Structure 1
Amino acid sequence: MPKRILEKSALEISRLRVDGSHAVGGVTGLYLRVVGGSRSWVFRYVHGSHRRNMGLGSYPLVGLAEAREAARAALKLRASGIDPLQARQTQREAARLATARQMRFDDAAEAFIREHEATWRSLKHAQQWRSTLATYAHPHIGHLQVEDINQAQVLRVLAPIWKTKTETASRLRGRIEQVLDWATVYGHRTGPNPARWRSQLEHILADPNKLAPVQHHAAVPVAQLPDTYRRLLTMEGTSACALRFLILTAARSGEVRGMVWSEVDLEAGVWTVPAERMKANKEHRVPLSSQALELLRTQPCTPMVDHVFPSNRRGPLSDMAFTALMRRHALGAVPHGFRSTFRDWAGEMTHHPRDAVELCLAHAIDNKTEAAYRRGDMLEKRAAVMQDWAGYAVSMAPQPAREAR
Structure 2
Amino acid sequence: MPKLSDTRLTKSVVEAAQPGQTISDSEVRGFRLVVSKSGTRRFVASYRIHGRSSMKALGAFPTFTVQEARDMAREVLRKVRAGVDPHVEERAAREAEEAAKNAPTVESLSKVYLEDYAPSQALRSSTIRHARQLSRIAIEALGSKKVEAVTITDIRKLHGDTRAAGIARGTKGVYQANRLLALLSKLFSLAIERGWRNDNPCRGVRKFPEDQRWQNLSEGEVKRLLRACEDYAAGLRPVSPDDDPETVEHKTKPLPETERSATDREAADAIRLLLFTGARLQEVLKAEWSQFDLERGLWQKPSAHTKTKRIHRLELEGPALETLKAMFERKSHSVYLFPGSTEKRRKSAPVDINSGEPVGIGPRADLKHPWRAITALAGLEGVRLHDLRRTLASFMLSGGSTLATVGKALGHTQASTTARYATLEDSVQREGLKAAGERMVGSSEL
TM-score scaled by length of structure 1 = 0.68
Provide the C-alpha distance between the structure 2 equivalents of 1:63 and 1:2, rounded to a whole number of angstroms.
Answer: 25
Identity of aligned residues (%): 21
Structure 1 position 324 matched with structure 2 position 375: no
Provide the C-alpha distance between the structure 2 equivalents of 1:281 and 1:38, rounded to a whole number of angstroms.
Answer: 77
What is residue 298 of structure 1 aligned with on the other side?
329
User: Could you say what secondary structure the match of 2:299 adopts?
Assistant: strand
User: Could you say what secondary structure the match of 1:307 adopts?
Assistant: coil
User: Could you say what secondary structure the match of 2:57 adopts?
Assistant: strand
What is residue 134 of structure 1 aligned with on the other side?
136
- 2:278–2:393 CA contact under 8 A, matched in 1: no
Specify whether residues 34 and 115 from structure 1 end up closer, same or farther in structure 2 by C-alpha distance, changes over 3 A only.
farther
Structure 1 position 109 matched with structure 2 position 107: no
What is residue 277 of structure 1 aligned with on the other side?
305
2:282 corresponds, among 232, 251, 254, to: 254
Provide the C-alpha distance between the structure 1 equivalents of 2:199 and 2:392, rounded to a whole number of angstroms.
Answer: 48
Provide the C-alpha distance between the structure 1 equivalents of 2:16 and 2:286, rounded to a whole number of angstroms.
Answer: 81
Specify whether residues 262 and 44 from structure 1 end up closer, same or farther in structure 2 by C-alpha distance, changes over 3 A only.
same
2:384 corresponds, among 334, 351, 365, to: 334
Specify whether residues 295 and 60 from structure 1 end up closer, same or farther in structure 2 by C-alpha distance, changes over 3 A only.
farther
Amino acid at match of 1:308: L
Provide the C-alpha distance between the structure 2 equivalents of 1:331 and 1:285, rounded to a whole number of angstroms.
Answer: 34
Deviations along 1:90-134, one digit per CA (max 9) or x if unpaired, are: 464366346535443333333344443222533443343343333
Provide the C-alpha distance between the structure 1 equivalents of 2:14 and 2:44, rounded to a whole number of angstroms.
Answer: 17
User: Could you say what secondary structure the match of 1:308 adopts?
Assistant: coil
Aligned length: 342
Provide the C-alpha distance between the structure 2 equivalents of 1:52 and 1:36, rounded to a whole number of angstroms.
Answer: 23
What is residue 56 of structure 1 aligned with on the other side?
57
Deviations along 1:219-262, one digit per CA (max 9) or x if unpaired, are: 32146545643553453322112322333333222211112233
What is residue 179 of structure 1 aligned with on the other side?
187
Unaligned runs of 5+ in 2: 168-172, 235-264, 346-361, 417-446
Provide the C-alpha distance between the structure 2 equivalents of 1:359 and 1:348, rounded to a whole number of angstroms.
Answer: 16
- 1:120–1:126 CA contact under 8 A, matched in 2: no
Task: Report the aligned-residue RMSD.
Answer: 4.0
Structure 1 residue 278: deviation in Å? 1.0
Structure 1 residue 61: deviation in Å? 12
Provide the C-alpha distance between the structure 1 equivalents of 2:221 and 2:52, rounded to a whole number of angstroms.
Answer: 94
Provide the C-alpha distance between the structure 2 equivalents of 1:127 and 1:250, rounded to a whole number of angstroms.
Answer: 23
Specify whether residues 157 and 334 from structure 1 end up closer, same or farther in structure 2 by C-alpha distance, changes over 3 A only.
closer
User: Could you say what secondary structure the match of 2:74 adopts?
Assistant: helix
Provide the C-alpha distance between the structure 1 equivalents of 2:91 and 2:14, rounded to a whole number of angstroms.
Answer: 32
What is residue 82 of structure 1 aligned with on the other side?
82
Structure 1 position 308 matched with structure 2 position 358: no
Specify whether residues 260 and 37 from structure 1 end up closer, same or farther in structure 2 by C-alpha distance, changes over 3 A only.
farther
Specify whether residues 250 and 61 from structure 1 end up closer, same or farther in structure 2 by C-alpha distance, changes over 3 A only.
farther
Provide the C-alpha distance between the structure 2 equivalents of 1:335 and 1:76, rounded to a whole number of angstroms.
Answer: 73
Deviations along 1:59-102, one digit per CA (max 9) or x if unpaired, are: 79997957655433233345xx41242x6524643663465354
Deviations along 1:197-228, one digit per CA (max 9) or x if unpaired, are: xxx444xx8x432xxx2321x43214654564
Structure 1 residue 361: deviation in Å? 0.9
What is residue 443 of structure 2 aligned with on the other side?
none
TM-score scaled by length of structure 2 = 0.62
What is residue 220 of structure 1 aligned with on the other side?
217
User: Could you say what secondary structure the match of 1:176 adopts?
Assistant: helix
Deviations along 1:130-165, one digit per CA (max 9) or x if unpaired, are: 433333x33443333344433443344233442512
Specify whether residues 152 and 308 from structure 1 end up closer, same or farther in structure 2 by C-alpha distance, changes over 3 A only.
closer
Specify whether residues 335 and 176 from structure 1 end up closer, same or farther in structure 2 by C-alpha distance, changes over 3 A only.
closer
Provide the C-alpha distance between the structure 2 equivalents of 1:127 and 1:38, rounded to a whole number of angstroms.
Answer: 68
Provide the C-alpha distance between the structure 2 equivalents of 1:127 and 1:245, rounded to a whole number of angstroms.
Answer: 25
What is residue 170 of structure 2 aligned with on the other side?
none
Amino acid at match of 1:259: A
Specify whether residues 89 and 215 from structure 1 end up closer, same or farther in structure 2 by C-alpha distance, changes over 3 A only.
same
Provide the C-alpha distance between the structure 2 equivalents of 1:62 and 1:51, rounded to a whole number of angstroms.
Answer: 30
- Map of 1:355-394 to 2, 5 A cutoff? 355-366=404-415
Deviations along 1:312-355, one digit per CA (max 9) or x if unpaired, are: 244433411552342242252433222222212221123x4532
User: Could you say what secondary structure the match of 2:313 adopts?
Assistant: strand
